[in-house]
């Protein structure tokens, strides 16, 4: 039995008093003593951690999980959760000038708070989490902002990161909704939608190449596809399904599988877990940065749907 501190129980009780909605939106405790929001509809369920604003699970009714989570994920403040949909913001990858700053920005290692919850109908529920600039964020990045993560569960999963520049200075930002997907086996899937698209091969000194045919996997792959607004489909005959990933507010898509050696180098990633996952990330990466004047807003959105094959 997991015993909660009095303060923790109170905060959960307060959250449920303020924001829970029947059995469709509930706040629960979980790994790392983090607080989670559980969404349920007739179509399936989802789970989101307030730490990191991190969608951890998306499970359509009668389907295998769509999002992948590492069994080795750590749940420690200051460390990103491994799997699900990490919110990479306000930069993608290493900080452009200061390598001591966290990879993929600080949003995914920050404590988000609940802004609003809605039951739109029995088929659709929504939660909005918020993260605003403060002394913690200013340690990493000198600008003022208001973030909202809008998660809508229906017959699909829609995740939108809305950024508003609330300061008096303009800023440029990058980022990604860095989605990890569950697949049957990395060597039996195909990824379509990026054919003939230019990509930056992060494993070949960022050489620019052009995708020929569907993306197939036989070794580590870490590509940033540029100038593309295309939907992507992960064809997975082993699970008798396709996963369709559509996007808004993004001109770049990242596809990644760490394969054997990189998996072994990551302490929060099982040595053999690479066979059951692939990342397809809706990004603002490389030259696809977003410039916001004071008061301006940008939305980066990904829409995820599992489609059963015959």
CB of 258 to ligand TA6, least distance (A): 7
Query: Which residues have a Cβ under 8 Å from the Cβ of 13 and sit 6 or more positions away?
Result: none
CB of 5 to ligand TA6, least distance (A): 29
Name the residue nearer to ligand TA6 (CB basis): 246 or 281.
Answer: 281
By CB under 6 A, name the one of 71, 103, 172, 248 that touches ligand TA6: 103
- Answer yes or no: are the C-beta atoms of 59 and 46 closer than 8 Å: yes
Name the residue nearer to ligand TA6 (CB basis): 158 or 222.
Answer: 222
**Per CB under 6 A, 254 contacts ligand TA6:** yes
By CB under 6 A, name the one of 158, 222, 236, 246 that touches ligand TA6: 222
How far apart CA 146 and CA 132 sit, in angstroms, is 4
**Residue whose entry in the numeric block shows the structure tokens 């990330």:** 281
Q: DSSP per residue over 272-296, as a string?
A: TGGGGEEEEEEEE-TT--EEE-TT-
Name the residue nearer to ligand TA6 (CB basis): 69 or 279.
Answer: 279
Name the residue nearer to ligand TA6 (CB basis): 147 or 279.
Answer: 279
**Per CB under 6 A, 58 contacts ligand TA6:** no
How far apart CA 256 and CA 263 sit, in angstroms, is 12
Active-site position among 43, 104, 178, 273:
178
What are 140's two structure tokens? Answer: 């990493």
By CB under 6 A, name the one of 43, 104, 156, 241 that touches ligand TA6: 104
- Answer yes or no: are the C-beta atoms of 55 and 256 closer than 8 Å: no
- Answer yes or no: are the C-beta atoms of 299 and 161 closer than 8 Å: yes
- Answer yes or no: are the C-beta atoms of 77 and 51 closer than 8 Å: yes
Burial 252-268 (b: 16+ CB within 10 A, else e): bbbbbbbbeeebeeeeb
By CB under 6 A, name the one of 131, 233, 279, 304 that touches ligand TA6: 279
Query: Strand 297-308 and strand 157-165: pairing?
Result: antiparallel
CB of 242 to ligand TA6, least distance (A): 21
By CB under 6 A, name the one of 68, 256, 259, 274 that touches ligand TA6: 256
Query: Which residues have a Cβ under 8 Å from the Cβ of 211 and sit 6 or more positions away?
Result: 194, 195, 196, 197, 198, 199, 223, 225
Which residues from 173-202 bind ligand TA6, rule CB under 6 A?
A: 178, 202
Look up 54 and say whether it is catalytic: no
Look up 178 and say whether it is catalytic: yes
CB of 152 to ligand TA6, least distance (A): 24
**Per CB under 6 A, 93 contacts ligand TA6:** yes
CB of 149 to ligand TA6, least distance (A): 17
**Per CB under 6 A, 248 contacts ligand TA6:** no
**Per CB under 6 A, 153 contacts ligand TA6:** no
Q: Specify the 3-state DSSP secondary structure of 184.
A: coil
**Per CB under 6 A, 236 contacts ligand TA6:** no
How far apart CA 195 and CA 303 sit, in angstroms, is 20
By CB under 6 A, name the one of 80, 85, 221, 280 that touches ligand TA6: 80
Q: How many CB atoms lie within 10 A of CB 128?
A: 18
CB of 82 to ligand TA6, least distance (A): 7
**Per CB under 6 A, 270 contacts ligand TA6:** no
Active-site position among 54, 104, 273, 281:
281
Instruction: Say what the alpha-carbon torsion angle 229, 235, 241, 242 is, to the nearest 10 degrees.
Output: 10
Q: Which residues bind ligand TA6 (CB under 6 A)?
A: 80, 93, 103-104, 178, 202, 222, 254, 256, 279, 281
Catalytic residue positions, numbered: 178, 281
């Amino acid at each position: 039995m997991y015993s909660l501190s009095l303060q923790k129980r109170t905060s959960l009780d307060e959250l449920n008093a303020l924001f829970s909605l029947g059995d469709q939106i509930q706040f629960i405790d979980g790994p790392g003593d983090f607080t989670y929001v559980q969404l349920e509809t007739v179509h399936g369920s989802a789970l989101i951690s307030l730490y990191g604003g991190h969608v951890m699970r998306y499970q359509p009714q009668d389907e295998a999980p769509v999002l992948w989570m590492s069994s080795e994920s750590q749940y420690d403040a200051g460390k990103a959760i491994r799997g699900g949909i990490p919110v990479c913001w306000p930069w993608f990858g290493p900080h452009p000038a200061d390598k001591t700053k966290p990879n993929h920005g600080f949003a995914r290692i920050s404590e988000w708070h609940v802004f609003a919850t809605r039951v739109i109908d029995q088929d659709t529920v929504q939660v909005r989490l918020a993260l605003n600039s403060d002394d913690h964020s200013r340690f990493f990045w000198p600008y003022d902002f208001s973030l909202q993560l809008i998660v809508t569960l229906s017959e699909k999963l829609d995740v939108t990161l809305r950024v508003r520049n609330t300061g008096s200075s303009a800023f440029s930002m990058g980022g990604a909704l860095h989605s990890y997907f569950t697949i049957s086996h990395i060597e039996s899937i195909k990824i379509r939608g990026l054919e003939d698209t230019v990509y930056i091969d992060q494993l070949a000194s960022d050489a620019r190449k052009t995708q020929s045919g569907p993306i197939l996997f036989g070794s580590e792959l870490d590509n940033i596809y540029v100038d593309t607004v295309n939907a992507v489909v992960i064809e997975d005959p082993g699970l008798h399904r396709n996963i369709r990933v559509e996007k808004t507010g993004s001109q770049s898509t990242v596809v990644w599988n760490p394969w054997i050696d990189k998996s072994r180098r990551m302490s929060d990633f099982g040595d053999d877990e690479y066979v059951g996952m692939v990342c397809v990330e809706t990004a603002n990466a490389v030259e696809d940065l977003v410039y916001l004047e004071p008061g301006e807003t940008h939305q980066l959105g990904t829409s995820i749907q599992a489609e059963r094959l015959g």
